[in-house]
Amino acid sequence: MKTLYKSLITISLFVAFTGCNDELTKDPIGLLTMDQVDTTPTLNTLESSVSSSYQLLSSTLNLVGDWQWDDGTVTRNDFILQDIASNDMNKKWNPDGDQAWMDELSAFNFTADNGAFNGIWLYDYEGINRINLAISYLTNPEVTQAVGISDNRKNQLLGEVHFLRAFYYFDLVNNFGDVPLLTEPLTSFAEAFEVAVRVPESEVWTQINADLVAAKELLPNSKYPSPSEPWRVSKGAVIALQAKAALYNEDWAGVISYVNELDALGFYSLNTNYFDSFAVDKEFTDNEVIFAYDHISDQNPRKGNGLCALIGWGFVAPTDNFLNEFEPNDPRLLYTVDVPNQNVSKLLGNTVGENKGNDDAPSNKIYMRYADVLLWKAEALLETSDYEGAMTIINQVRERARTTPTADGSAIPAGTLEDRPSSTDAAQIKEWLIHERRVELGFESQRFNDLKRWGLAKSFLTGLGKNFQDKNYLYPIPQGEVDKSAGTITQNPGY
């Protein structure tokens, strides 16, 4: 069995190969360490190989590296690549020269050396590396029999990592297009260089869909596969990601079918209160959140939400354009951002500024929730000319918003967020849908991908004075990856 553990030694080869700093040669937090290589595996070995695969979805500070801002690795940077890039978010409340690379991305005056791209590439591929190692354990009968893991637990864990691999590749293919496709642990430098080649994005989508099919077959039919561990991937999360993958590939019938399948589980609905999806004291007790990273304070190694520390340092602020998108008296605005107090409530997990500046905050990172899913279905219904069905969903989301108690206790005036009228004007309904997604999902790292897949990124951002060009529909491959591969990893056109 010793040969199996060679993957533990060589797994770092691709990380060192694809990483842009020496910090990644350190043992990954929560993963097996080098002194375990020659030991007999245990049940904890398998469990930790899976749980560590989740870590790269967190906003915990310095998971890879040590305050290396320019490498984009201080925290997972979806908020930069999505919220700042889309002009929903400014870097800071008070503009300054700190972290100029974020400003360059915001203005679309960046090069392929910008740390934002390196950071997300590094986080996603480190997650994939850990997943491939976990899958190699869980599919090896010699290992699973030796540790005595039950079939139910083995299948559950295997379902989780298949989903997570699909999730990381979903992120990579939407950011970069063609990317290297790794599905097994690496065992030599030769293998590392052999796979350091971009495959067509169609192959990546095929792998995403295959992983999701596998995950759905393996996970139990329950809202939480482990009631004591509600943070784990569920079958509902798998079906939701299948719907999202169909949406991004304009498979409108597929979107509708998957959302209907999700509804048939009976696990999810819109919360009565909009903010329940984000409130720390409602985590894993609400009806709407489908997949989230579970940030927890006071853990060793740390699991807190480090993005709250950045908020305390003046980072993460709304643009005027974003604020102006909200209709008068929309309760969702104050639940998203409290402008007078400079609190980003949705990310802090409360409406009173608690956790602001806390580098180990307990507020979860929400990746998928039911309101988002409903709006996918509304879009698919619109695209298939079911205008009434699309409008029903849009108005359902608006009704929940206007009936949510306000964050400051003020009364909601009559006529706030009235239902949109019936219409057969597809262009008008699309405008309403675009608006509703922006205000409903603000600061949830969805907006830039929306603008891109709608083909609106260039017209919208250039209209705001940004230097967005056609090439920017894909981000550049981190230049360090191209250089270290000696050109086997090619650069995206225009960079």
Quote the percentage of the chain above a pLDDT of 90: 87
Determine the pLDDT at residue 158: 98
- Binned at pLDDT 50, 70 and 90, residue 191 comes out as confident
pLDDT at 3: 35
Predicted confidence at residue 39, as pLDDT, reads 57
Q: Could you state, in order of their start, the residue ranges of all structural domains in the chain? A: 1-219
- Summarize pLDDT for 116-151 with one digit per residue, the tens: 999 999 999 999 999 999 999 999 999 999 999 999
- Can you give the pLDDT at residue 446? 98
- What is the pLDDT at residue 93? 98
- pLDDT for residue 41: 79
- Residue 20 pLDDT: 34
pLDDT tens for 330-376 read 999 999 999 999 999 999 999 999 999 999 999 999 999 999 999 99
Q: Is the pLDDT of residue 466 over 70?
A: yes
Q: Which of 11-25, 185-199, 344-358, 456-470 has the lowest mean pLDDT?
A: 11-25
Residue 258 banded pLDDT, cuts 50, 70, 90: very high
pLDDT tens figures, 52-63: 999 999 999 999
Indicate if the pLDDT at residue 243 is higher than 50.
Answer: yes
CA–CA distance, 392 with 192 (Å, rounded to integer) = 51
Mean pLDDT of 395-409: 97
In the predicted model, what is the mean pLDDT of residues 189-214? 92
pLDDT digits (tens, 9 = 90+) for 71-107: 999 999 999 999 999 999 999 999 999 999 999 999 9
The CATH code that applies to domain 1-219 is 1.25.40.390
pLDDT tier for residue 195 given thresholds of 50, 70 and 90: confident
Which of 34-38, 216-220, 297-301, 308-312 is the least confident region? Answer: 34-38
Q: What is the mean pLDDT of residues 391-406?
A: 98
